[in-house]
Amino acid sequence: MPTNFSIIIPARYGSTRLPGKPLLLINNKPLIQHVFETASATEAKQIIIATDNDEILDKVTSFGGKAVLTSSTHKSGTDRIAEVVEKLSFDDEEIIINLQGDEFGLSPSLINQLASNLSTNKDFDVATLCARIDNIDEYTDPNVVKVVFNIKNKAIYFSRSPIPIDRGGGLPDETYKHIGIYAYRVGYLKEIIKFERCKLEISEQLEQLRILYNDGKIHLGVVENAKNIGIDTKEDLEIACSNNGSR
């Protein structure tokens, strides 16, 4: 297990559907603190929260976390993280885990596994995770990002639409949902932010499509029993509050 990885948690204030999302309470604790505590239970050597908001920064400081104030103009979490690695002069070979500030209930062991996956698969530029979809509601839900990959676990495409499609109208046998956490080396991260946002990324509102469009290689690690919830809607927040993230 590599111990030379860091976790950076992008946490912006201005979510369209849930403004101030990192500060929303789940069981009397702000969402960003839940995510920080998950990160703290991993093998990461350091954890930094990258935010565009003084209130979030103050909250992170209050529970003992480290936060860096970043620009409010970034279009994605990756861009926000890139500002942090530039400010703090990270080494190009260091592995960074991008743990989204709204990723609630993720097992710390999966974060360790992700860092190991990128360290082991040196031909890949980025690593991420996915889990099998076992019900039609998730398959058709545009808030659940689907992914298809090849025999070498290389990502082919990510979409909010149901992929692969079942022409009979059912749930295909091999259908996977993306778990929105990434690992990349600092050197490649610096390359990503030079890429222009492509039409696919803008259409799907999925920043990982910028990598695929520019011929980047994304490794998919398949995991089981992933009970995390990406907090995107009020319904997600209610589920997290009611059962601690289990669906």
* Mean pLDDT of all residues belonging to the chain: 92
pLDDT over 50 at 86, yes or no:
yes
Percent of the chain's residues with pLDDT above 70: 97
35-59 pLDDT tens trace: 999 999 999 999 999 999 999 999 9
Give yes or no for a contact between 103 and 21, defined as CB atoms under 8 angstroms apart: no
Residue 236: the pLDDT is 85
Closest CA to 216 of 78, 107, 116: 78
| CATH number of the structural domain spanning residue 22 | 3.90.550.10
Give yes or no for a contact between 228 and 104, defined as CB atoms under 8 angstroms apart: yes
- Beta-strand ranges (E) seen in 95-232 are 95-99, 103-104, 126-132, 146-149, 155-159, 176-185, 218-223, 229-230
Residue 227: the pLDDT is 78
Return the structure tokens found at 230: 């990406």
Residue 17: the pLDDT is 75
Note down the domain range covering 88.
5-243
pLDDT over 50 at 166, yes or no:
yes
- Beta-strand ranges (E) seen in 186-246 are 218-223, 229-230
3-state secondary structure of 51: strand
> What is the number of domains present in the chain?
1
pLDDT over 60 at 204, yes or no:
yes
pLDDT over 70 at 84, yes or no:
yes
pLDDT over 90 at 19, yes or no:
no
pLDDT over 80 at 172, yes or no:
yes
pLDDT over 60 at 125, yes or no:
yes
Residue 75: the pLDDT is 78
